[in-house]
Amino acid sequence: MELNKFIDHTLLKADANQIEIDTLIQEAREYDFKSVCINPTWVAYAAEQLKDDDVLVCTVIGFPLGATSTAAKVAEANIAIDQGADELDMVINIGAVKSGNWYQVQQDIQSLVEILDGRAILKVIIETGLLTEEEKVKVCEIAKEAGAHFVKTSTGFSTGGATIADVKLMRETVSEEMGVKASGGVSNRQEALDMIEAGATRIGASKGIAIVNPS
C-alpha cells in the first residue's frame, strides 16, 4: 500500500507563515503525498511551486465554520480553482442541518458541484462532532446525490476529529461511489491504517511524515 498517496499533508492554522508553507511543500515533494492542504491565501503560491510535481493543491472553502453564504462559497471556490487548486474541501452549512433545512444544505453543496466542470474535486466536510448519527447519514446522502466526490469527517477545528465509527458509517452510507476522507486527530501509522480499514480513501493530517515514516 502506498500510504503516502492517501495523505493530504495539511497546514490550516491561522498563523501559518511563509517558512512553514515552504516546509510543507518541500515535505510533500519529498514524501510524494497526495496533496498539500492549505488555506486559500496560499493556493496560487503552492500551485506555482508544485507545477512540476506529482502533488496536488487542496484548499478549504467556507472554512472552518461553514456559515458563509452559498454565493460566498461559490466565489471562493472559483477563485481557488482559477489560482490552481485541484481539490476543494468545503464545510457544509451546519446551522442549516441543525435547523432541518435540508434544501439549503443541498443547495449549498450543489452550487459548488455545478461550477466544477471537471476542474476540481469536491470534498464535503460534514463536521461529524457536531452532528447526530441521523444527521451524518442525511448529509452524506445529500452530498452523494448532489454529485460531490468525497465526504470528509471534520475540519479539525471543532469539538472532535475522525473516529472509526464515523468513517464506517460514512462509508456504509455513500457505498463505494464516493471517497471518504478521515481528518482530525490522525497522528500515526496505525491510526491511519485503522481509518483506511474502516473505509477511508484519504487521510487529512498535519502529521503525515510520522504516519508514513514512524520512528
Query: Which residues are catalytic, by number?
Result: 89, 152, 181
**Maximum distance among all Cα pairs of the chain, rounded to whole angstroms:** 48
38 in Cβ contact with 46 (< 8 Å): yes
**What SS3 string covers the chain?**
CCHHHHEEEEECCCCCCHHHHHHHHHHHHHHCCCEEEECHHHHHHHHHHCCCCCCEEEEEECCCCCCCCHHHHHHHHHHHHHCCCCEEEEECCHHHHHCCCHHHHHHHHHHHHHHHCCCCEEEEECCHHHCCHHHHHHHHHHHHHHCCCEEECCCCCCCCCCCHHHHHHHHHHHCCCCEEEEECCCCCHHHHHHHHHHCCCEEEECCHHHHHCCC
